[in-house]
Amino acid sequence: MPDERMPVIVAARRTPITTKGARLARITAEQLAAPVLRACAEDAGRAIGSRIGGTQSDGDPSAHLSIGDVVLGNCMGPGGNVARLAALAAGIDVAVPGMTLDRQCGSGLSAIIAAGDAIRAGDDRLQLAGGVESASTAPTRLADGIAYARAAFAPTGFPDPEMGPAAQALALVHGIDRGSQDAYAARSHRLAVGAQRLGRFDREIVEVDGVRRDDGPRASMPAMMGRFRALYPAASGEVDGTVDGGTVTAGNSCRISDGAAAVAIVPADARGAAPGLALLAHATVGCDPALPGIGPVAAVARMLEERALNLADIGAFEIVEAFAAQTLAVLQLLGLVRDGAVDPRVCADGGALALGHPWGASGAVGVVRLFSRLVRGDAPAGTLGIATAAIGGGMGVAALFEVVR
């Protein structure tokens, strides 16, 4: 692929991430995504020194770069094409299309990959891509007059565990005890609180309905370790023939959340002198649907093998921390946990265990975090970063990025 066709992220933004039923509970999915899309387009214009065609305020045929598409991931929304609704709500020109995709918790990252592939295939326009989830406004679904919480991840005849029991199964298979899970959750909160205090999230967050800060990180998490031990396991249903003695709890699991995240991607030859993240490679793989949380292992391994890289070459990792047990299982198999210590390159400002997990957006949140850590954080050109997520039904998705300056 010629260098000029390399997709480069030149802007990355997200909303505050809030708990389901909390401060953004009345904001619909398109209303969450719209201000993020708008901010990304505006940031991209400033970064590359160009008017971006396709925005409501432009109407200018002399704009140097137009918006080609809006691609958003979404899992549990109202149906229809949320990306198109969000694009219109953002003031993007009616001529710009939109596409919504569902790869469950990998949706936001898969949307960014899809937009990047459009540029690789020859589209020379700016792409807006990411994900959104409003768990608070997600509709109740009915089948034969009976309400159900989610669609099936696997068909009849295949395992289709709820995510809590699936995480508990990984804890049993990989010998991850309760103390390790609680300690990892506390790490996520500690790092997120530190990042919040230092203002590391400020430049990536777009205010929505007066909300400017994530509500998940807890400064008192180290003190809560004792309280963690008192929590009953939250994973319901049988796990390995028993319902008792589980180690997955509310304390070491992510919150169900509302939020949106997006990036602006341009061909390398359109970025000018703007720093950014080049999308070098990606991989999406399937795995045993009985253990869906382990999918990132094969996705990361395949991607690194194809690029002739190893873990030592990577400067930063962002993994969607759905459950401490699931995350630790992945990190152990990748070699990013040694003697009980988690590699400091992993979610260095905390992850979903602290911030929350807006399903369709979380993979894109990981890319926004990489942009902040590496581009806004002045990492040198050539620094590599990986974003990855596990996917319900037994899949994993990973993407490799490189800092360009």
- Catalytic residue ranges: 105, 357
Burial of residue 159 (CB within 10 Å: 0-12, 13-18, 19+) is: middle
Q: Which two tokens stand for residue 12?
A: 């990355």
| Closest among 134, 204, 139, 148 to 358, alpha carbons compared | 134
Q: How many other CB atoms are found less than 10 A from the CB of residue 197?
A: 10
Residues in Cβ contact with 243 at an 8 Å cutoff, skipping those fewer than 6 apart: 236, 237
HEC-encoded secondary structure of the chain: CCHHHCEEEEEEEECCCEECCCCCCCCCHHHHHHHHHHHHHHHHHHHHCCCEECECCCCCCCCCEEEEEEEEECCCCCCCCHHHHHHHHCCECCCCCEEEECECECHHHHHHHHHHHHHHCCCCCEEEEEEEEEHHHCCCEEECCEEECCCCCCCCCCCCCCHHHHHHHHHHHHCCCHHHHHHHHHHHHHHHHHHHHCCCCCCCECCECCECCCCCCCCCHHHHHHHHHHCCECCCCCECCECCCCCCEHHHECCEEEEEEEEEEEEHHHCCCCCEEEEEEEEEEECCCCCHHHHHHHHHHHHHHHCCCCHHHCCEEEECCCEHHHHHHHHHHHCCEECCEECCCECCCCCHHHHCECHHHHHHHHHHHHHHHHHHCCCCCCCEEEEEEEECCCEEEEEEEEEEC
- Do 52 and 63 meet the contact criterion of CB atoms below 8 Å apart? yes
- 167/240 Cα distance (integer angstroms): 12
Q: Which two tokens stand for residue 282?
A: 């990606």
